[in-house]
Structure formats: structure tokens, C-alpha cells
Structure 1
Amino acid sequence: MPVRSWIPTLLAAALLPLLAHGAPERDFKSEEGSVRVSTLAEGLRNPWALAFLPGGKDMLVTERPGNLRIITAEGKVGAPLSGVPEVWAKGQGGLLDVALSPGFKQDRLVYLSFAEVGEGGKAGTAVGRGRLSTDQARLEDFQVIFRQQPKLSVGNHFGSRLVFDRDGYLFIALGENDQRPTSQDLDKLQGKVVRILPDGTVPKDNPFVGRPNVRPEIWSFGHRNQQGAALNPWTGELWTHEHGPRGGDEINIPKPGKNYGWPIATHGINYSLLPIPEARGEHMDGMVDPHHVWEKSPAISGMAFYDNPRFKPWEHNLFIGALAGQELIRLELDGDKVVHEERLLGELKARIRDVRVGPDGYLYLLTDDADGALLKVGLVL
């Protein structure tokens, strides 16, 4: 074979690693210097959430159609794990968040939130847990520990994020299934933050325990569609964020028993440009104003506090993904107060679904697409 005919073959072989791991690294300008984005993995089907396994070399990643996969730090994508529950993968429903038990090194328990169908064909958010096998190929003995009741969704507003606090309580940030008034109904679990023990039982000190006709799981209410939640590493408090309608995306710091307003108090209007029928204004007595609000909705999803020494300019920052905005939002904090905002990575034109800080100090992002990607993001020092 002539030497010239080898060249295409050699070039193809050289390009295969690049094709397998997406586009080459790209640098983007930011106020804190150049931000470098590397594509670790592509071809993911609507990836929704990720969690780092101990050691920081492997990640669990959910795909909304119902797959849970392990992706290595080098970007190798594993086959779907068996033992994952059947999910209702319609509209915004499917396999959603993933979190590790605080005692994962001993119990190997993995928690999943997902859309689950009920009688009449409507769905709600469920949460369950299973044990990751030692060969990391399956979840064993998966059991549902929480179900959103009643089931009202026809495909919208499931939430949902999972966060363990320092005391081991599990918080679940739920959507209101696009049924606005239910956020104010204390006999329903739509539009609520709930707080349970790791086995699904209700803590005795939850704010509504013992109240007749009130769900004892409820921690706070008056939320819309919560797609971000994280524990503030400096205070130990839960922060959540939620989609407004047309305008009015907001961050909250949910306190026990408090009402966060939706749909009575909101900064948004309906997608039709008409007012929200139940709305009475942006502020209402007896309801908690947002901690931070966007008058124009970026459609926020995923949230991570930056608490790692690797990139000093990002210290005490909060990072949030934007779906409609197709950006990464960087918020500078002074204590709990948001003092500055920067929009990053808009040139990527990617719907950012999840944001996590890795053990190595890099940000890891999931892009929400039928051909979604796992991105690694850091500053060029």
C-alpha cells in the first residue's frame, strides 16, 4: 500500500480520542480570567444530575429516560446500571436527581428521585434508595421511601433535588406539578420542601407534625418548580431555587413552616403575558420574600456553592445553571447576600441542567439535550 494511502487511516486513528470525548478544550473570557471548558463525555440522553463517588474518580449520572450510569474522571461512559426503578419518562418527568447516603462508605446507599405514574395516568415525584453493588454494575434492594401525594402531574414541574444536611436529614425540593393553588394546600405535597429521615420516616420536630389535615413531611411551602438545592457549606443551611413563570425565578433559604408565596406573591406573569390569576403582588404579609430574584427568568437548574481552595477567585461563590438562558451564572456572596452576578459560557449555547463542584475543585456541568454532555470547567491559572 502506498505511504500516501496510510495518511487518512492514521489521521482517523489520531482523531478518535477527540471524537470520543467531544470537542477540544475551549477557553472563554470572564471577569476572573479565562475559563477553560473540557468535554469529558457526550452522547448522554438528557442527563439530569450527577454525584461523585468516594475517591473522586467516578461519577453517578442520571439520564431522564431512566438510565443511571457511571462515568469515570477520564470520560469513559459505563453501561446503564440494573436495579434502577421504572420511571415515567414523559414531558419533564423521568429519572431526576441522585445523591449518596452520608454514610455511603459503610452502607453504599444511593438515593434517586424520579417521576412515578399512579392511577388515572397522572404522575408525581418519588424518592427511593438502593445499595450500589461492589462491582458498581447495579442497585440492589431498591425501595421507595417517599411519594408525592396526590399524583397530579401530566408531565410538568416535578422538581426535584435531594440534599442531606449535616444532621443526616434528607430534604426533597418538589415542584407543584403545574397546579398552582396546590403550593398553598398543606394537605398536599406539591410545591413543598419536605424533610424526612433517611429511611423515609418523618422527624418528630418537623414544623407541622401533629396538625390535623396537614402533611407532616412538609418543611416549607409556597414553592413553584424547584430545580436547584444545595447545603451552604459555611452556615449549614439549605438553599433552594425555583423557576418562576414568565419572570420571577428565585432563590430561597427555606425555614421551617414558612410560606414562600407562590402563586399569591410572585415577580412573574403567565406565559400568555396575562397576570397569574391568584397573584396579589410581589410581596404579601405573612409570606417570605425571595432571598434573590431574577425579574427575567434564566430558567435556573442545578446549584453548587464553591468551597474549594483550587480556584481562589471563585471562593464564596454560588454557581447556577440556566436552561433558557443557556449560561452558567456566577453569584458572588458576602455572607448570605448576593453582591454581584456574572453570566458565563453563553457562547456554548448549551442548556445547563446540573452544576457540581468536584473533589478536584473543578466545576462539572451537565447539558440537557438528547445528545447531552458532561463538561469540566476551571480557571486558567
Structure 2
Amino acid sequence: MRNLMFGLFLTLSGAVVSAQTLSSSTGQVQVQAMVSGLDTPWAVDFLPGGEFLVTEREGRLLLVRGGQAQTVKGTPKVHAKGQGGLLDVMVPRDFAQSREVFLSFAKRQKGGAGTALAVGRLSQDGQRLTDVRILFEAVAPGSGGRHFGSRIVEARDGSLFLTLGERGNRPSAQELSNHNGTIVRINRDGTVPDDNPFVGQSGIRPEIWSYGHRNPQGAALDRQGRLWAVEHGAKGGDEVNRIKKGANYGWPVISYGTHYSGAKIGEGTAKPGMEQPAHYWDPSIAPSGLMIYSGKLFSAWRGDLFIGSLKFDYISRLDGKNLREVEQLKGGETERVRDVVEAPDGSIWFISVGKGTIYRISPAS
């Protein structure tokens, strides 16, 4: 670990790595490495003043300030196995007043591990999280190391959405007595909003907002404040969905993919009472982070969805009006794209797991 940190500081010292260019539908864009030498990075989010936070799946939270990275102490203990570990980081809109930072992670539980959501306050020097507490943890842990979901989205009303995979237990995504394969919504203090769809219904977890998901690893709000999510299918059938209150997204009853064996999934591609995807890929691209772009620096991309592909090493751009893939941003930097986010200045940042690097896309000078 000490050698890794030494290498990381070497990479970050001095000026940012020189920029490369990438062809796009708007012409050449600039791609600049912002931090390198990362160990399985999973998420990035921004602090006021140009600083940013990065999670590494093995459990480390980094603060990058002035071209230097430092480890933030006080993070919760994570279950780093398979796809589990320290996953998303979300900086809320009121950070300047609250200093709060939200983290999702795989937490060891009796019988296995489940997705959890924690919050802590970042010290003024950025060296430690204090007052860390767990706001939510999934009921019905899984014993394997897959399908933790784990994106955090702050809704316009200040409540929090968290995506959860079905932990490889397919039928559980249709069982509302547990949280597997759901998107949950909670208040900032961990309580359940009164207007959640299943509040007061016997035998149903009140945190659930939607269900029937396989493994949603990307989520974002559009300009109207509506929630969208992208999730992994099996062999084919990766989906983009507009998330509706109380809706059932069908896994594993309906899917546009097949099992890895080639066997049919469930009952086909449609069933009454189950939502159809707004878009799906076949073959699967292994989608991860999702961002809906404001148009601040690239006006032609206003309202479009940007989704990272872990499998085919590109960023998928979906037209926001017709929701179809219209472009693939691809180059040497887009190796296993895990997260895609918009920075406060309108630049597009993405995580390349393969390169261990976070890159920034901006107009070519």
C-alpha cells in the first residue's frame, strides 16, 4: 500500500498530464488525465473549489486537491470481495454548509454481505470523515460477490435514491419482503419518506421505490428531476429505464437477453404490469455510470445520456429525445469505463478502470 501511495503521489505531482484528443460528433475534443495510479476506482464526485473525491473498491477514499491525492480516514469497513467493496460517493448540494459525504459500500452481514449507505462529515482539512453513521443496509444478504448495484442520487427534494442489485438471487428481485433488485428511497436521516409507494403495506419493505431490477450500476436525474437508471442484463438485455414510483421492471420474469448458457429467461420480453426498457443493448455492453448532460460546454449534447461500457471500452451517447445510441466515444483512454459524471464547469469526466485513471473531456482548444 505504501508503494502504491508513493506511485500515486509521483503521478500527481506537478502539472496535469498533457491532453490528448478524441474524435466526436462535435469535432475533436480534449481528453486530459486528472489523476492516475488508482487501484480499481469506482466513483468520482466534486467538492467546491475544484477538489474531488474518488473511491477505490478495496476501501480507500481519496481527496484530490491541487494535483495531490490524500487518503481520507474514517471510512466504514467494507466487504471487498468480487464486485463488492467501497463503491459510490455522492457530494450533496448543501455540502458547503453540511460538509456531509455519502458513501455506498458492500457491508458484511450475517450470512454474507449486502449494500449499505453511510454518511459522514468531511473535516476542514479533508483528512477524515467524522460522525460516520449507516443510514441504510439491505435486508437479505447474498453470499456471493456480485450484483451490489450501488449508485446514489440526490433527488430534488433532498431525499436519496440508492440502486441495489439482486445479489445473484434472481427470484428475490420480485419479492418485496427484501431489498434485492430494487431502487430504494430514504430521507437524509435514514427515515422512510411518507410518500414512498409501499409505506404501510404489510410484508413490504417501505424503502422500496421500484423493483424487478438485476444490477443497476448507473443512475441520474434528468432536467425534469426524473430518475433514470442503467442496469446489467445477462447475455444481452442491458437496459436503460426511466424509474417510476412503485413500478416493476420485470427481472427475471422478462428480459431481452438470455442466460449465459443460452437458455431462455423467464416468460419472454413482455408481460402486463411490467415496464419495458426505454432502450436496451444486445449484445450487452456491461453498462456502468450514467450521466445526463446539461449542454453547458457541448450544446449539441444537451439532454443526452452518457453511459460507460465496461465490456467494449467506450462511452455510449444516447440521444435524449429518441433514446437510441447515436455515438460511441472511444479511444485509448476509454478502457473499462466505470463512471461518467459532469463537472460543475460542464466538462465530462470518466473513470477508466483499465488505466487506473480519471479523465476530463472538454472542447479542444
* TM-score, length basis structure 2: 0.93
Q: 1:64 aligns with which of 57, 60, 68?
A: 57
Conserved 8 A contact 2:11-2:35: no
Alignment of 1:296-307 (within 5 A): 296-307=283-294
SS at match of 1:182: helix
Range moving further from structure 2, 103-112 or 342-351: 342-351
Query: Stretches of 4+ moved more than 3 A in 1?
Result: 16-24, 346-349
Q: Does 1:149 align with 2:139?
A: yes
How far apart, CA to CA, are the structure 2 residues paired with 1:109 and 1:25? 33
Q: Does 1:172 align with 2:172?
A: no
How far apart, CA to CA, are the structure 2 residues paired with 1:96 and 1:352? 14
CA shift for structure 1 position 22: 8.0
In the TM superposition, what whole-angstrom CA distance separates every residue of 1:103-143 from its partner, at most 9, and x where no partner exists? 211111110000001123x1100001000001111000100
Conserved 8 A contact 1:49-1:96: yes
How far apart, CA to CA, are the structure 1 residues paired with 2:344 and 2:12? 25
| % identity of equivalent residues | 45
Alignment of 1:1-381 (within 5 A): 24-55=18-49, 57-72=50-65, 76-120=67-111, 122-232=112-222, 234-276=223-265, 279-334=266-321, 337-348=322-333, 350-369=335-354, 372-380=356-364
How far apart, CA to CA, are the structure 2 residues paired with 1:309 and 1:189? 37
RMSD of the TM alignment (CA)? 1.8
Conserved 8 A contact 2:100-2:120: yes
Conserved 8 A contact 1:226-1:242: yes
Letter in 1 for 2:287: I
The size of the alignment, in residue pairs, is 356
CA shift for structure 1 position 208: 0.6
SS at match of 2:312: coil
Larger radius of gyration: 1
* TM-score, length basis structure 1: 0.89
Conserved 8 A contact 1:162-1:171: yes
Q: Which stretches in structure 2 are left out of the alignment for 5+ residues?
A: 1-9
SS at match of 2:72: coil
How far apart, CA to CA, are the structure 1 residues paired with 2:29 and 2:171? 43
How far apart, CA to CA, are the structure 2 residues paired with 1:199 and 1:341? 40
Q: Which stretches in structure 1 are left out of the alignment for 5+ residues?
A: 1-15
Conserved 8 A contact 1:131-1:141: yes
How far apart, CA to CA, are the structure 2 residues paired with 1:339 and 1:225? 21
Letter in 2 for 1:273: G
Conserved 8 A contact 2:12-2:69: no
In the TM superposition, what whole-angstrom CA distance separates every residue of 1:139-163 from its partner, at most 9, and x where no partner exists? 0010001001111141000001000
SS at match of 1:313: helix
Assess, with a 3 A threshold, how the Cα gap between structure 1 residues 245 and 18 changes in structure 2: closer, same or farther.
same
SS at match of 1:106: helix
CA shift for structure 1 position 322: 0.6
Assess, with a 3 A threshold, how the Cα gap between structure 1 residues 149 and 134 changes in structure 2: closer, same or farther.
same
In the TM superposition, what whole-angstrom CA distance separates every residue of 1:43-99 from its partner, at most 9, and x where no partner exists? 1011101110023x1001101000101113x5x242211110010011000000011
